[in-house]
Structure 1
């Protein structure tokens, strides 16, 4: 998620040590850890509520599924699969219909 290297982390620690001071650093680190735990708890609760409100069939929903590009790709793929099944081709066969979809639009 975050692309931090060892150098960046070390730089942030040194900066925090300078700004906060060595005396207050343990307390600030503890407060930061509590805040991170609280944010994680809130996001887990919100995710659980969203899954509960969506109902059955959405248990495996991920945030990337809500991306419009992903939604369109899945919908187009399902429509093409349905057309192949109607034609009796299945997933392994080549369909006579070759979709001309510009990948930049997806």
Structure 2
């Protein structure tokens, strides 16, 4: 759809007579730029010496650089250790187990155990009277 829209705009801008000539000129410029870039890469490789014969300029892109130097295969070398260190599940499971143990012994509770059941208080606390005019 985008290509069709660009083609229609190009026909309106350049006209149907000059459009083929413009396309030929644009492809010629692109070919010249590519050959110039390839020759510059070859010159740079030859100047760097034989130890850099496998050097790829795409490796200088930050994402590619990080993938190549920080990843072992598909996984970051220490990623599993980082995931385990940041995972809160073991601590939550420990807290849950402690809470369940406290709830299981609620009838004959140990000292310091917490009851998870709500107990109605015999003497509810007195409510303070709120006076909206006093504030």
Normalised-by-shorter TM-score class: 0.5 to 0.7
| Cα distance in 2 for residues equivalent to 1:25 and 1:72 | 43
Provide the residue aligned with 2:46 in structure 1.
Answer: 52
User: Could you tell me how far 1:73 is from its partner in structure 2?
Assistant: 5.6
Q: TM-score normalized by structure 1? A: 0.57
Structure 2 segments unaligned to the other structure (5+ residues): 72-76, 83-135
Higher relative contact order (Cα pairs below 8 Å, separated by 6+ residues):
1
Report the CA distance shift for 1:73/1:32 in structure 2 as closer, same or farther (over 3 A): closer
CA offsets 1:5-62 (integer angstroms, 9 cap, x no match)? xx11111111111100001111111111111111111111111111111111212211
Q: 2:21 matched to 1:27?
A: yes
Q: Once superposed, what is the RMSD of the aligned Cα atoms?
A: 2.8
Task: Give, in whole Å, the separation in 2 of the partners of 1:72 and 1:23.
Answer: 49
- Any runs of at least 4 consecutive aligned residues in structure 1 with deviations exceeding 3 A, and if so which? 98-102
Find the counterpart in structure 2 of residue 15 from structure 1.
Answer: 9
User: How many residues matched?
Assistant: 76
TM-score, normalising length: structure 2: 0.46
SS at match of 1:60: coil
Which is greater in Rg?
2
